[in-house]
Amino acid sequence: MKKVIIIGAGIIGLIFAKELSALNINCEIYESKPNVYKNADKASGILSKNGLEKLGIDFSSSIENKINGAIIHINNKKIRLEKTSTVAYIINRQKIVKVLYNELRNNKFIKFNFNKKIEKQELKKLKNNKNNIIVGADGAVSAVASAFDFPKIKEYILTYKTEYNNAKAANTNFVELFFNNKLMPGFFAWVAPHSNSKIEIGIGISSNKKKNSRDIFNKFIEDKNIKQIIKNAKIKSQHASIIPIAIRKKTVIDNAILIGDAAGQVKSSTGGGIIFGAMCAKIAAEIVHQNILENKPLKKYEKEWRKKYEFDLKMHRLLHNFYSRTNNKHLISILDFLKLLNMERIISKYGDMDSLVQTLKNIVTRKKQR
C-alpha cells in the first residue's frame, strides 16, 4: 500500500491532510517545529471573503476584523477603493492552524510527527521507495524542492512586520498600502488594523535588491503619519518572512509533489498564498487519491492546477512587475489618470481580490449590459 508523507504542518499542509482524510487516505505529517502554532503568524493574515468561502472551511473563530476596502498611497497621492460590504478579513493565523489541528489531531487517517526535521539524505531515501508519495508543503525555502532538484525560484519578497497594541487606527475598516520604489523596491508597505488599537505594519522588498528588510521597516515607520499611529503603542510581536513571487516550472517529479508556497502558488501582487495554495492542495489530494486507488499518474496534478489557476497567478505577476518596475513619478501619473477615468468606483464595484481575470470579466460584462 502506498504511503503519503507530508513535509510541513502549516496551513496548506493541514488543509491537504484534511482533504486526504476525507477520502479515507492515510498520511503522516512531519514538522520540524514542536507544534503547529510556533511562528504561524510570521506572515500577514489578510484574506479575501470570497476566497475563504470557496475553501469551505469555517475560520470564523480566527477573524479579528472585517475590511471594506483599501487606500493606496503613492507619496502624497492616494486612491480609495471601497465597497459597502465586507471584501476581506484580517485573521489570526495561529488560530487558523489551531482550528485545523484540533480538528485533525485525533483523526485516524493522520499521524503527526513534531520536532522532526527530515534531512536531505533521508528525504532521498523516502523518495527512492516508490510506494511513498512525498508532498512538500514546507514553504518558500522548501527542503523537498531542494532535495529532489525541482527548478529554483529566482526571486522572493523579504518581509518584516510588527504587530502593535495600544496603537491608533486611522481607518479601522481599510487596509492601507504604500508604494515607494526608492524605499521599498519590488514591493510595498502596509498598515492593517486588527482592531481599533491592534495594528499590523509591514514592508516587503525584492530579494534581488540585496537589502535588509528590517532596516527598510525602521525607515518606513519614521514617516510622520505612521509615527502618529504607533505614537503610544507597544510592540506585540515582530517577524521576518520570505514569500515566493514566481511559480516553479515543475511541481511534480516522479513520486514527489509541491503545494502552496513550496510550489510558488502565491499572488505575487500582494504576497497572499493561502487561497491559491489551499485550492491547489485540494486538487493535489484528489490526484493522490486517484494515484493510490487507480494508479493514475501524479503528473496529472501539474496539469490540473495549472489549468485552473496558473493564468490568474501569472496575471498577478504581471501586475507585480508593473508596479515594481515603475518609478514613483510615473506611478503618480498613472494614479491621476485612473482617477480621471473614475476607476476608483469601477474597481471598487467590480474588483475581485484573488482573480484579476474575473475583475476584467466583471468590467466587460458591465459595459455590455449598459
User: What's the CA angle centered on 288, arms 283 and 291, to 5 degrees?
Assistant: 130
C-alpha cell at 193: 488594523
Q: Is 158 helix (H, G, I), strand (E, B) or coil?
A: strand
| Predicted pLDDT of residue 147 | 95
| Predicted pLDDT of residue 220 | 96
| Predicted pLDDT of residue 349 | 65
Q: Helices 343-350 & 328-340, crossing angle to 10 degrees?
A: 80
Instruction: Name the helix (H) or strand (E) containing 77.
Output: strand 77-82
If one compares 153 and 50, the residue with the highest pLDDT of the two is: 153
Residue 176 has pLDDT above 80, yes or no: yes
Q: Is 152 helix (H, G, I), strand (E, B) or coil?
A: coil
C-alpha cell at 249: 516550472
The single residue listed with the C-alpha cell 498613472 is 334
Lowest mean pLDDT among 75-79, 133-137, 246-250, 269-273: 75-79
Q: CA–CA separation, 272 vs 256, rounded Å?
A: 24
Partners of 199 in the β-ladder:
164, 193
Domains of the chain: residue spans and CATH = 3-45+93-154+247-322 (3.50.50.60)
How far, rounded to the nearest angstrom, does the alpha carbon of residue 87 sit from its chain's CA centroid?
16
C-beta neighbour count of 69 within 10 angstroms: 21
Terminal-residue alpha carbon distance, the chain: 59
The single residue listed with the C-alpha cell 502565491 is 266
Q: Which residues contact 23 (CB under 8 A, 6 or more apart)?
A: 285, 286, 289
The single residue listed with the C-alpha cell 487561497 is 275
Lowest mean pLDDT among 34-43, 133-142, 273-282, 338-347: 338-347
Under 8 Å between Cβ of 115 and 34: yes
| Predicted pLDDT of residue 10 | 93
| Predicted pLDDT of residue 127 | 86
Q: Is 319 helix (H, G, I), strand (E, B) or coil?
A: helix
The mean per-residue pLDDT over the stretch 197-218 comes to 94
| Predicted pLDDT of residue 75 | 83
| Predicted pLDDT of residue 216 | 96
The mean per-residue pLDDT over the stretch 85-97 comes to 90
What is the per-residue DSSP string for 160-222?
Answer: EEEEEES---S-TTEEEEEE-TTTSTTS-EEEEESSSS-EEEEEEEEGGG---HHHHHHHHTT
Average pLDDT, the chain: 90
Under 8 Å between Cβ of 134 and 7: yes
| Predicted pLDDT of residue 187 | 95
